[in-house]
Amino acid sequence: MEFTEAYKLTGPCCFSPNARYLAVAADYRLVIRDVLTLKVVQLFSCLDKISYIEWALDSEYILCGVYKKPLIQAWSLTQPEWTCKIDEGPAGIAYARWSPDSRHILTTTDFQLRLTVWSLVNTACVHVQWPKHTSKGVSFTKDGRFAAICTRRDCKDYINLLSCHTWEIMGVFSVDTLDLADIEWSPDDSAIVIWDSPLEYKVLIYSPDGRCLFRYLAYESGLGVKSVAWSPCGQFLAVGSYDQMLRVLNHLTWKIFAEFMHLSNVRNPYCSSVLKEVDEPLQLDMSGLCLDDDFMQGNSENSSEGPYRVRYKLMELPITLPSQKPPVDKPNPKQGIGLLSWSNDSQYIFTRNDSMPTVLWIWDIRHLELAATLVQKEPIRAAAWDPTNPRLVLCTGSSHLYMWTPSGACCVNIPLPQFTISDLKWSSDGSCLLLKDRDSFCCASVPMLPDSGDDSSDD
């Protein structure tokens, strides 16, 4: 992998959908860089510090949330003189997003008073009263024709279906939830999944005309659903729960066909590999050899031992995975499946059980088994699949990037001084990785997947 130098940032940054540009917030400025060269191609000035950035799907427009004012500013890359400012007045603006046609902006006011659709074509606007959430509760069909917006009135949750062409309400129906948490269209646009708040375990599948196709309750008298994700193929729905289990439903019968447990004690027989991050001292002949600072990487505990490399070690079973018990007297307990995501081919899904924050589980849906378990030294900050291949990268706030493929796993050292990875994002074509530190970022070009690999690698 090849890494660029570090560049300053003070806020969010993200790739454009066409993978050609990178938008970076630097104080009051929005910097647009070319992904290949990282040269500045556009520079826009905001009225205050940038809180949020989002590209339009056509990569021609970009909006910035300046929530301290509060207002929204938008620009065009093809027409630098064009600009747009959206101000809701006393109602404020808590969140903004693009519509699929890249010509409308949806804003939500403070206290969820209303959701407004602003047109960039004719300056018209449409209001939807009492949206349920600020940044959640809105989902668009994959073809971009319809939007499902959650609202709440008279202590009941509703789904409003809007046409993204005219923004007229095509239908409204109530849903059987106590306190709706979020919704998501299926990838084939044939159904909408709705799940309830953690206080009520309930997953509901609705048709666009308001018919309830399936109601799933795994258990009662306990915290319920924590995370939900459709597979890219649309055939599977993964549900992560507070009981530390992952359940997968199929789209034909909406029945559970797989349940995966996250056990702290791993014993034989066990078909998958457990890979643990370890520090391995290097045995070098120091005569006539000079090591530079990038190679002499060490932490405070083992720096006295000399140079070392970070690698994955294949562990022998049985093994006890590091875990923590959440306190019973505090809200939002750190347990359950807080992180899950599908690979682009829908064959793999990774999960993180929040009571074991240093462990990442990778499940093989095709064979209904655990493919690998990665045990890190520090809690996992972020993980993401390559959009084009079954390749997974993750970070833990260290100076290393961790990568897994079906053929093996490796640890890659970042050759930048004092650079620790707190977040990461893929470009849409899978050719580039954005790595974020607290106040800087760098990019890494990612090579093609090799035909074979092993379970460990040098830095």
Q: Quick one: pLDDT at residue 285?
A: 53
Write down which residue in 30, 55, 87 finishes a domain.
87
The percentage of residues in the chain with a pLDDT greater than 70, rounded to a whole number, is 92
Report the distance separating Cα 238 and Cα 225, nearest Å.
11
265-266 and 236-241 beta bridge pairing = unpaired
State pLDDT tens for residues 393-426.
Answer: 999 999 999 999 999 999 999 999 999 999 999 9
Task: Please state the pTM of the whole predicted model.
Answer: 0.91
Residue 346, SS3?
A: coil
Over 60: is that where the pLDDT of 89 sits? yes
State pLDDT tens for residues 268-286.
Answer: 766 678 999 999 887 655 5
For 127-179, give the DSSP string. Answer: EEESBS-SSSSEEE-TTSSEEEEEEEETTEEEEEEEETTT--EEEEEE---SS
* CA angle 429–430–431, rounded 5-degree value: 95
Write down which residue in 52, 71, 87 finishes a domain.
87
Q: Quick one: pLDDT at residue 306?
A: 52
- How many domains are there within the chain? 2
State pLDDT tens for residues 7-32.
Answer: 999 999 999 999 999 999 998 999 99
Mean pLDDT of 248-263: 93
Residue 292 maps to a domain:
no
Enclosing domain of residue 436: 262-281+307-325+332-447+454-459
Using 50, 70 and 90 to split pLDDT, how confident is the model at 450? low
Residue 305, SS3?
A: helix
Q: Can you read off the two tokens belonging to residue 409?
A: 């796993």
Residue 21 maps to a domain:
yes
What's the one-letter identity of residue 281? P
Using 50, 70 and 90 to split pLDDT, how confident is the model at 177? very high
137-140's contacts with Cβ under 8 Å and 24+ in sequence apart are: 137/180, 137/182, 137/183, 138/97, 138/106, 139/183, 139/184, 139/185, 139/192, 140/99, 140/100, 140/164, 140/185
Over 70: is that where the pLDDT of 205 sits? yes
Q: To 10 degrees, the CA torsion angle through 48, 50, 54, 55?
A: 70
Over 70: is that where the pLDDT of 303 sits? no
Residue 214 maps to a domain:
no
Count Cβ atoms below 10 Å from residue 163 Cβ, excluding itself.
12
Residue 62 maps to a domain:
yes
Mean pLDDT of 253-262: 93
State pLDDT tens for residues 338-347.
Answer: 999 999 999 9
Q: To 10 degrees, the CA torsion angle through 279, 283, 289, 292?
A: 0
Residue 115 maps to a domain:
no
Over 60: is that where the pLDDT of 293 sits? no
The percentage of residues in the chain with a pLDDT greater than 90, rounded to a whole number, is 82
Residue 113 maps to a domain:
no
Report the distance separating Cα 54 and Cα 42, nearest Å.
16
Residue 42: partners with Cβ closer than 8 Å, 6 or more residues away = 31, 32, 75, 77, 80
Mean pLDDT of 234-258: 95
Instruction: Give the CATH number for residue 18.
Output: 2.40.10.480
Write down which residue in 87, 114, 137 finishes a domain.
87
As a whole number of Å, the end-to-end CA separation of the chain is 11
> Which range is least confidently modeled, 301-305, 427-431, 439-443?
301-305
Q: State the average pLDDT for the chain.
A: 91
Residue 196 maps to a domain:
no
Residue 188 maps to a domain:
no
